[in-house]
Amino acid sequence: MTKDVTTISEEGFSATNEIREFETTIDANGEEAPDTLEALLAAYGSCYVPALRVGGQQRGVDDLGKIEIDMTGELNDDDKLDSISFEIHVEADVDDDTGEQVLERAFELCKVHDALKGELHAEASITGDAF
């Protein structure tokens, strides 16, 4: 199985992403749409939500109810991500020990978390005079 996305930029730093029948826009400058790091954080949080729900079910919390994740991406001097933190609020009454078990399991299940590993690097080629 593969996941296919086509990213198109006619000019400037904004790009349209074609994902199946969906389109999203990401603007590296963050002027016309979310910037690239905001989009990454949104994808991470969106992936972590179902991982939390499954992790909760696997650790004895059948329904976490409403979930809200406040994410912060700290940038280094080069404006690149230096660290990411999640502040997670759930509707269910979860004790600290169970909560830690759910968080740990959710990180194991989250595909975006897994994709952030250092050894994952895109192989690339370039073709000039293509249009």
Asked if 13 and 58 sit in the same domain, the reply is no
Q: Does 40 share its domain with 29?
A: no
DSSP state letter for 124: -
Helix (H, G, I), strand (E, B) or coil at 113: helix
65 burial (CB, 10 Å; 0-12 / 13-18 / 19+) is exposed
- Parent domain of 74: 35-121
What pTM did the predictor assign?
Answer: 0.89
Answer whether residue 65 shows pLDDT above 90.
Answer: yes
Residues 43 and 29 in one domain: no
39 and 29, same structural domain?
no
Instruction: Mark whether 9 and 40 lie in a shared domain.
Output: no
* Count of the separate structural domains present in the chain: 2
pLDDT digits (tens, 9 = 90+) for 87-117: 999 999 999 999 999 999 999 999 999 999 8
The per-residue pLDDT for 121 is 79
C-alpha 2/C-alpha 89 separation (Å) is: 33
Task: Please report the pLDDT score of residue 127 as a whole number.
Answer: 87
Tokens standing for 100? 């830690």
Same domain, 46 and 75: yes
Given a cut of 90, is residue 76 above it in pLDDT? yes
Is 75 a member of any domain? yes
Higher pLDDT, 22 or 124: 22
